A and B are shown apart, each in its own frame.
Chain A
Amino acid sequence: MALIQIFIVLSLVFLLLHIMPGDPAVLALGTDRTVDPQVVEALRHELGLDKPILEQYLIYIKNVANLNFGNSITDKVPVMSYIAERIPRTIELAFLSIIVASIIGVVLGMVAALERKKAADIITTSLAALGISLPVFVLGTLFIYVFSFSLRLLPAGGFIALSKNAGAHYARLVLPVATLALPMAASIARMTRSSMLEVLNKEFVQTLYAKGLSRQKVVFGHVLRNAMIPIVTIIGLQFGNLIGGTVLIEYLFNLPGLCSVLLKAISYRDYPLIQGCIFVMSSFYILVNMFVDILYGALDPRVR
């Protein structure tokens, strides 16, 4: 199933790139008008762009199956090594953000559901509304302004390898992770709250109390698990989107991740690089969805 999805995505990418106007070979050689047509022709041949489109497509599919995306047009580095270098940074950012967002979101949402009609609920819901409505780049800029320029607590961005200096590595991740996590935490909190409230009103909760269970045991032993499916869904959706959704953040915080590669690839019409990036991103998205489906089954016997 997941393989078919990936195949469809790749075919669409191929089609789209070939429909778009503009010759990649010309672009790759620079915008200089005086480019020798013979040189362009040589490059087109090297890239296989002079072959019929169907043949190009078949070659493309065969290469992808072998995880071979060829070399980047612009600097001749193999696409896969390019991606392999950059993707750990994006994945680290995505994982940290989703973990932070999930913890904050679920905890806040639970507090709001259990302390219904009280101050905690009002604070959480209004925070959540704010977090959802604020665009990430506004939030990111605000964070940089407050924590880097005004308070001088954290670096505004950049990248230092973990092996070089772990402290500095993570210090540079705090702001981007916070920027990404906050709006996600807000939606997760909202979903957690409404899902918990729904489950708390179900009849089996009364049975649990009638058995003599304490409130904590009812909430943590039963209600949370029953409320989990919509929460897992929204976390999965956000995580799937995150791998492509970090573009602005990587840009804003000057992080050399996958998204910066993609931006560069698009502006130079670097076919192999674009295809590689999209392959990785869509595979990630599809894998996350597959994992969420498996989780559903584990969480709810009725789904199995």
Chain B
Amino acid sequence: MSNCLLEVKDLVTAFTTSKGPLRAVDGVSFQVNSGELIGVVGESGSGKSLTSLSIMGLVPYPGKVVSGEIFFEGQDLLKLEEAEMVKIRGKNIAMIFQDSRVSLDPVCRCGEQIVEAIRTHEKATREEARERALELIGLVGIPNPARCVNAYPHELSGGMCQRIMIAIALSCRPKLLIADEPTTALDVTVQAQILELLDKLRHDFDMSVILITHNLGVVAGVADRIAVMYAGQIMELGDIGEILNHPMHPYTQGLIKSIPKLEVSSKRLYSISGTVPALDKMPSGCRFEQRCPEAMALCATVLPEMCVLSDGQYVCCHKYDTWRSAYE
């Protein structure tokens, strides 16, 4: 596609352990187009954070990107030196994290943290940067920006801290914003406000967003496309409306069923039985096989291939083996 901003190809990220390398991200491929908001959904431990950290070049020790390619504006980020990555991080690709209150430096004033982000990438005087920080704080919907620049993170609420995080991320007008569970630590009402804000800002700033969440309900209203991840692999990928209406993968179907709905709050919340397999106990077949209500004999032994259902809709499940493989 011509307007492709980021393309992740066959990414493998593993932790070096005494038991050998454990692949926490195992062959993930997807792309992000300019201006689109793509949701990455999956239970905790499915490798969503690690995928985004791989894109940022910030995989924590002893993790390491083992293979694959990550093209950003046609350039393979994995081939860049750290000195070059430093110029891209925060400038072209920005990231915000789950718990904003601990994601800000506790001994540094909020305004100062935005100023630092600006001055890291741009030649601005302190005064210019401060002015822009003030502007950004207003832009992310914080009432009384002048007070907020001088506040320390512990003096603000979680929602306000997340807005500061967003202001930091936006400070250099990035082309891509990765938001890793940006609303998980917040109250429901604040969650909705932050999502709305992200959606509005991506249009105003004309940027792409990767929105990571374990709650499909969070991205349902804002995403253009979603990627459903499970145990380090993408299970289903495609248009959000298409997936919500016609989920193909049994895992996606389970996730949709477990979205909490207000009207039926009296009923017990559905959840997929079982847990994500541990990294050192990955089955050789389909990774969802043990928890899959529709598992077949084949599923236990053979890893399914990604199939193309229609233009831009992909699923990784033996149920659809008769469809064309994505690699043909």
Partner-B contacts on A (CB < 8 A): 202-204, 206-214, 217, 221-222, 225-226, 299-302
Contacts and interface: CB of A to CB of B under 8 A. Distances in A.
Contact of A212 (B102, B107, B108, B121): B121
A229 B79 CA distance: 40
30 contacts: A202-B102, A203-B97, A203-B102, A204-B106, A207-B95, A207-B104, A207-B165, A207-B168, A208-B105, A209-B56, A210-B56, A210-B58, A210-B89, A210-B95, A211-B89, A212-B86, A212-B89, A212-B117, A212-B120, A212-B121, A213-B120, A214-B86, A222-B105, A222-B107, A222-B108, A299-B107, A300-B107, A302-B106, A302-B152, A302-B154
Contacts of B56: 209-210
Contacts of A209: 56, 58, 89
Contacts of B23: none
B88 A212 contact: yes
A229 B121 CA distance: 31
Nearest to A208: B105
A210 B105 contact: no
Contact of A211 (B106, B107, B116, B154): B116
Contacts of B102: 202-204
A225 B107 contact: yes
A212 B105 contact: no
Nearest to B58: A209
Interface in B61-116: 86-91, 94-95, 97, 99, 102-108, 116
Contacts of A206: 58, 97, 103
A225 B120 CA distance: 19
- Main SS class of interface, A: helix
A203 B97 CA distance: 9
B196 to A, nearest CB: 23
A209 B90 CA distance: 8
B103 A212 contact: no
Nearest to A215: B82
Contacts of A302: 106-107, 152, 154
- Pairs A-B, 5 closest by C-beta atoms: A212-B90, A212-B89, A211-B90, A301-B152, A210-B95
Contact of A226 (B86, B90, B107, B154): B107
Contact of B103 (A207, A214, A221, A300): A207
B96 to A, nearest CB: 8
Nearest to A221: B116
Nearest to A207: B103
Contact of A203 (B87, B103, B168): B103
A209 B105 CA distance: 12
B107 A210 contact: no
B154 A212 contact: no
A223 to B, nearest CB: 9
Nearest to A116: B61
A203 B107 contact: no
